[in-house]
Structure 1
């Protein structure tokens, strides 16, 4: 979880591969209306995110229900969004990929073929509620190499299992 440009997809894909888990790309589950809105530079409202969060939650629950491990890339910017996802899988662990606004804007601006413009990065930071200590979440430095982030996550999971 985290703002646009923090590396959710890249870290998520690598982590899923390392764990032999299913990878769910949250961006692919946005309805066309949401994609069009964001592509035009308009941030999503809480109401517009509800169906999208439910689609991600259903994919997570489906994988868990069939006995598969799952890693999902989803901004989950607010506590309420994370709670909505927990409604589908109560023991979900969030990996918060923490990044500064300048780096996030640079990364989003450099992406090719993605609907999210760099102009929306500030709105993501304005919406962001970093996970609180009572949430089941790990905070990781998103500027580190992906392989290092994945190795740290696996080590943390192994130490807590």
Structure 2
């Protein structure tokens, strides 16, 4: 039985279903695009649709490292802060989506097993209040918000690429 086939109830179900819904919106936004279209920059920034998929996958991965092992685990892997929003010549949309699916599956597994009340101090960063801790539940709420926000960004970018409107 896969994670998506497992029956869960209550809060975990609500969190997973909401996160899955917003992941689906994001994935739908790139449906049918070529690699060239997914890499196309439609604003003055480096941001592209493939880059959004890469960013959201990387962000979800790092936050789940945090959920399991705290700030030290989250910071254990290097982050290409500039490159995470663009596709390289080696990237394909299919590979980025496959990576995102693997990250999502791992997150879903963890949501079913982690103590949602377990908390860790946030990493030191200018955008975090010093000394604040987040629970696994708070991390999941943040991932839902992050994914939903970027799905909206993706919808705007997609419309600029080929006129398609995926969310309205």
Shared fold per TM-score greater than 0.5 = no
Greater CA radius of gyration, 1 or 2? 2
The two structures have a TM-score, normalised by structure 1, of 0.29
Name the one with the larger helix percent. Answer: 2
The structure richer in strand per residue is: 1
